[in-house]
Structure 1
Amino acid sequence: MTVISMDTNPEALSMTLVAEFEAGVERVWQLFEDPRQLERWWGPPTYPATFYKHEFVPGGKASYYMTSPEGEKSHGWWEFTNIEAPRRLEFNDGFADSDGNPTGDMGSAHAAVTLESVGERTRMTMLSTFESEEQLQQMVAMGMEEGLKEAVGQMDGILAEHANA
């Protein structure tokens, strides 16, 4: 498993995931930059994502949906607030309607992703911060911790394909 640790801190209104990959920083960065690769791992294995908008520039927006095993679609949005390729990515995110417009349901969160070299490997730290303790607890109750671990766990397979190509 790629995930080294997952820490939820109600006092700091945060959730931090740390993972390491057998790939260089630039290669791991591509898993965020390329929407076709991003949708192969964003979301748990049973809820695959489809990104139909992906403006990967500061101020750009991304729109996607995850499809449940029953075929139901849950929509989400990102707004990229900082991109320092290939080391740091920040975005706000939340739930959206079927047109990709933010619904305001459960507020929004802010994610900061940092990639750093650790020898031949890459360490990824994903820090999500929330607006309130209630929002954080709602996300935990919805299964965000396990879902994020499962999603990130899919990154190894994608990276291995390209390593062997």
Structure 2
Amino acid sequence: MHELSVTRFIDAPPEKVWDVMVNRMEEWWCPKPWRAEFDRLERRPGGVSNCTMYGPDGEVHSHPGTVLAWDEGHRFASTDAIVGDLEPAGPFMIGIWSIEPEGSGTRYTASARHWKEEDSKRHEEMGFTEGWGACADQLKALCEAA
């Protein structure tokens, strides 16, 4: 397994972090000035997910996938290896977003697991640490806002 991850301590209770994570996804899911729109997200294992990201210069990237895990209040995971009605796709990664209580707040971790080392390296070269880190910072700011 080839994994990349980012983590942040969020000074907010896990219940609040989970609520923001799953109910305000479009506000933190991709680094600004990009924006994300989920036109479908079935919150259950086997559910369909489709997110489209829009860039500041007119870029449009569709990200279809399948929800692999939805553990309410704890974590969710999805993959781009299966899309639509159980259609195989060129697998790139499994994404896992999780939270755990930590002291007076919450530990947030986002991970990307890849089948091949070259895919993991390519993802890192695409700016994984900066991009997913920016998303984590956006989530943190939303959760810590009064």
| TM superposition score category, shorter chain reference | 0.7 to 0.9
Which secondary structure does the structure 2 equivalent of 1:17 belong to?
A: strand
When normalised by structure 1's length, the TM-score is 0.77
Which secondary structure does the structure 1 equivalent of 2:46 belong to?
A: coil
Cα deviation for residue 32 of structure 1 reads 3.1
1:92-142: CA deviation from partner (whole Å, max 9, x where unpaired): 136x8xx9x98945x331122331111221001222210101111221222
- Residues of 2 paired with 1:32 and 1:77: CA distance? 19
Q: Identity over aligned residues, as a percent?
A: 22
Q: Which residue of 1 aligns with 2:111?
A: 127
Q: How many residues align?
A: 145
Q: Is the 8 A contact 1:33 1:56 kept in 2?
A: no
- Residues of 1 paired with 2:38 and 2:79: CA distance? 16
- Decide which of 10, 17, 40 is 1:21's aligned counterpart: 10
- Residues of 1 paired with 2:17 and 2:35: CA distance? 19
Which secondary structure does the structure 1 equivalent of 2:30 belong to?
A: coil
1:35-54: CA deviation from partner (whole Å, max 9, x where unpaired): xx101111111211111111
Q: Does 1:44 align with 2:31?
A: yes
- Residues of 2 paired with 1:135 and 1:157: CA distance? 30
When normalised by structure 2's length, the TM-score is 0.86
Q: Which residue of 1 aligns with 2:56?
A: 69
Regions of 4+ moved over 3 Å: 101-105
Q: Which residue of 2 aligns with 1:154?
A: 138
CA RMSD of aligned residues (A): 2.4
Q: Between the two structures, name the one with larger relative contact order (CA 8 Å, sep ≥ 6).
A: 2
Unaligned runs of 5+ in 2: none
CA distance 1:43–1:110, shift in 2 (3 Å): same
